Amino acid sequence: MNRCGLLTTEKEPVPLKSIEVELQVRDHVATVVSTLSYDNKEDKPIEAVFVFPLPGDAAVCHFSATVGQTQIVAEVKEKQQAREEYDDALSSGQQAFLLEESDQSPDIFSLSVGSLPPGESASIRLEYVTELAVQADDGLRFCLPAVLNPRYQPQGSEGPSVEVTSVPASQVPYTLSFSVRLSSPRPISKVESSSSLEPLQFLNAEQTQATVKLAAGHRFDRDVELLVYYKDAHQPSAVVEAGQASAEPGSLMGDQVVMVSLYPEFPQAVTSKGEFVILLDRSGSMQNARISSARDTLLLLLKSLPMGCYFNIYGFGSTFEHMFPKSVEYSQQTMDEALKMVKEVQANLGGTEILSPLQHIYNQPCITNQPRQLFVFTDGEVGNTMEVIDLVKKNSGSHRCFSFGIGEGASSALINGLAKEGGGHAQFITGTDKIQLKVMQSLRFALQTVVENISVTWDLPKEASVTVLSPPITAIFQGQRSLIYAQITGQTSEVAEGSVKVKYSLADQDFENQLHFSLKPAEDTGLTVHRLAARTLIRSLELEDRESRGRDGAIRKKMVELSVQSRVSSSVTAFVVVNKSDGKNIQGPLVRRDIPVPGTRAFGGRTLPSRERARSDEALPSRQRRRVNEVCYRMAPRPPPEAERFRDSHSRSAPFHQVYDSLVMDMEGAEMCCRRPSSRAPFHQALSSRGRERSYKDDWSPQNSPTGPLLQLVSLQKASGCWLLDSALAAALGKTSEEVEKPKPAQVNQDVWATVLALIWLHGFKADAKEEWELLAMKAVSWLRAQNAPCMKECVEAGNTVLGCKVATNALGF
């Protein structure tokens, strides 16, 4: 074994030495330039294959390679053609580079650096643009996904799974540097990150330009998340970008394109109706802290639901379970029953197959006058991303979907796609984020009355026409951004103006928001807006293509033409470049090196035999090796431990068919030992049989009380919103029973007194967590109003004395 240079855990040299990332943020759009430096320290030519994550909504728009003093810019070509050019170049001894998007998930890319000669260095430049998502606290979120956890490929899914080589972050054998430059028409308030940053440096007195970078000593153990805050963040805006001079007039790249950003404003009407269906990931990757936090979150969520609604809870892994046969009305009895089962929830259902439970939910009839709201909690390790998103899209007319990506490496394509196609809102919970806070933010959106009859109209000079490129707006939430891309055809003067108007209905009232904007093209935007618009249009065409199951060749042809014209990646194209500069053929058999990515878990079963391990050292043409690899990866990428031990015990030089056949047989046998309960079994039936099953060790006991005084108090609230005056409440308030019972005003009911005490405690001691408990406090206030209790001011004053607080009566919302 050649041990020179950096090594993987399997003692293979790693030719990737460093990744340098430069991020430029202009208002709410980001341009990312990544430079990957390769160095072959071996004595034979290599093919370095790097499978890595990118934001799911990114538009990859540049790919080039620098070898020696020569820079070669890649071309965008139809994917199969690009693969064949790459394979043919390697087979003939030429150097080539290939960048392609995964067929299963648009947030995973594969970069192949082919025929890097001994002692040779190469530098790869990759550029993409992306929109920054608006968070509930008005921050704009950018995420540089460093972690790529292996994705679970359900049995029977179409196509090969993505090949992922992941190792613990501490063992990643290359470095990462990350720098940011920000510019905005509005002052920059602050920049926060899940990683340590150096101090923000402002570049002008107006504080509209700044730089920041990762602090020294950054560990490659998490996604790099950046939150940018502007003053007056909710100002609507429009950016007009000039067309490309070399492009044909009338084409997307040749015409002007406008990007409109709107923040509709309307009264926050809250509904007490709804069917709330919670779909919780209980796969093995959710074990320990994740599932414990999920249990606490379910407690808070169940307590915050309004009276009169309906609910159900599903758990999924390799199979799925449901708490009730169908959604039940929210009451004290059903809430108590649900909470009892929630305490016993474990991350013990195997893989991550979300498609089947979704199909089961959609097959349940909707409840009249109870709009369905679906909450999906998952770490996003799903291989059939597009199948799942398409299913949500197909059923978008019957529900809204709110998605939550838990932990590092959650698929942005899945989480954002579920919310976008389901007309809901997406949240990511990473690092020290509080999942309860983000879930409550989304619950507020779910409780907003559905906005209907949404329409968009344009007013432009008569010599110009507009073609909307974005899908129709299907969901509007108070204060959340709506983005619209449109192509402007025709000649317009720089002093001309246009306007766009959004109309919609809410609770039988009509609303509209209008934005006037200049048609003068902005400066220094390059082709960012055009490429984002092209990406938006390409994604819409990809959806049409999947709906037609690829039978409409015209759609695929249009996708290829648009991708090539705009130089934006797609599922049907790839970037390819062949180095023909020196005309020399590279001699010697080609050795593949899989470059590892950081993962929160590294599963040996995910890296089944590579091209070199699958066969003996016999050289194969590159194209044939690719086909072998695709066949191999059709197996489930997370086999049971029995299969992992089998793999490790076999010689790497074993012929491919022996390893493959034996592994398949062993996996099938192991699967028989790991059967799950029926997917339609209720929670309590599945829990009773769990002793016979393989399970994952968890660090939480079902007998333990919820963590923290806040959740302890929340756990005591009744479904109606009130609290009972008992010893448990006294303990949660940090008092004895006598200390809370004796000061009660004589004319005040015990439950009223207990509820007032609980509300005073929340306002007095947990004001910083108000967004977490505000909804259940509103329910408590509604209950108090219904009691028509006397002497409320006296009651609050007495409660303040007991708890040592100074909470005003009007602050409680009476």
Summarised one tens digit per residue, pLDDT across range 690-713 is 332 323 233 323 333 456 889 999
Spell 600-635 as b/e; 16+ CB within 10 A means b. bbbbebbbbbbbbbbbeeeebebeebbebbeebbeb
Which of 44-48, 480-484, 703-707 comes out lowest in average pLDDT? 703-707
β-strand pairing of 16-26 with 175-183: parallel
Distance, in Å, from the CA atom of 212 to the CA atom of 633, rounded to the nearest integer, reads 41
Q: Residues near 123 by Cβ (< 8 Å), separated by ≥ 6?
A: 35, 36, 37, 38, 65, 66, 67
Of 46-55, 279-288, 334-343, give the range with the top mean pLDDT.
334-343
CA proximity to 491, closest of 516, 470, 460: 460
Q: What is the mean pLDDT of residues 379-405?
A: 88
Higher pLDDT, 76 or 660: 76
Tokens of 88: 């043919």
Rounded to the nearest 10 degrees, the angle between the axes of helix 656-673 and helix 622-632 is 10
Q: Which of 30-39, 149-158, 437-446 has the lowest mean pLDDT?
A: 149-158
Least confident of 61-70, 193-202, 433-442, 779-788: 433-442
Average pLDDT over residues 470-485: 85
Is the predicted pLDDT of residue 340 greater than 70, yes or no? Answer: yes
User: Per-residue pLDDT for 80 more than 70?
Assistant: yes
DSSP 83-106: HHHHHHHHHTT-EEEEEEE-SS-T
* pLDDT at residue 517, as a whole number: 93
Higher-pLDDT residue of 236, 380: 236
Residue 650 has pLDDT above 80, yes or no: no
- Which residues neighbour 39 within 8 Å (Cβ) at sequence distance 6 or greater? 5, 15, 17, 120, 121
Q: Which residue has the tokens 């004319």?
A: 747
More confident residue, 473 or 650: 473
Please tell me which residue, 639 or 88, carries the higher pLDDT value: 88
d(CA 699, CA 554): 54
The reported pLDDT for the residue numbered 600 is 59
Q: Is the pLDDT of residue 661 over 50?
A: no
pLDDT at 634: 31
Question: Between 157 and 428, where is the model more confident?
Answer: 428
Cα–Cα distance measured from residue 299 to residue 286, given in angstroms and rounded to the nearest whole number? 17
- Between the alpha carbon of residue 200 and those of residues 24, 181, 192, 210, 214, the distances in Å are 14, 10, 10, 7, 11
- Please determine, for residue 679, whether its predicted confidence score (pLDDT) is greater than 60: no
pLDDT above 90 for 332: yes
pLDDT band (50, 70, 90) for residue 784: very high
* Minimum mean pLDDT range among 429-438, 605-614, 798-807: 605-614
Q: Decide which of 550 and 33 is more confident.
A: 33
Per residue in 97-109, pLDDT tens? Answer: 999 998 878 888 9
Q: Which domains does the chain have, with CATH numbers?
A: 16-233+568-579 (2.60.40.1730), 275-447+677-692 (3.40.50.410), 608-673 (no CATH), 709-812 (no CATH)
At residue 582, the pLDDT reads 66
Top-confidence residue, 452 or 723: 723
Show the CA angle centred on residue 354, arms to residues 326 and 440, nearest 5°: 70
> Which DSSP helix (H) or strand (E) runs through 752?
helix 750-765
| Residue of 21, 114, 119 whose CA lies nearest to 74 | 114
Lowest mean pLDDT, pick from 16-25, 505-514, 672-681: 672-681
- Residue 660 CA neighbour count, 13 Å, CB half: 16
- pLDDT higher than threshold 90 for residue 339: yes
Residue 743 has pLDDT above 90, yes or no: yes
Q: Is the pLDDT of residue 597 over 60?
A: yes
Mean pLDDT of the chain: 81
- Report pLDDT for 626: 43
pLDDT of residue 564: 96
- Report the largest interatomic distance among the alpha carbons of the chain, rounded to a whole angstrom: 98
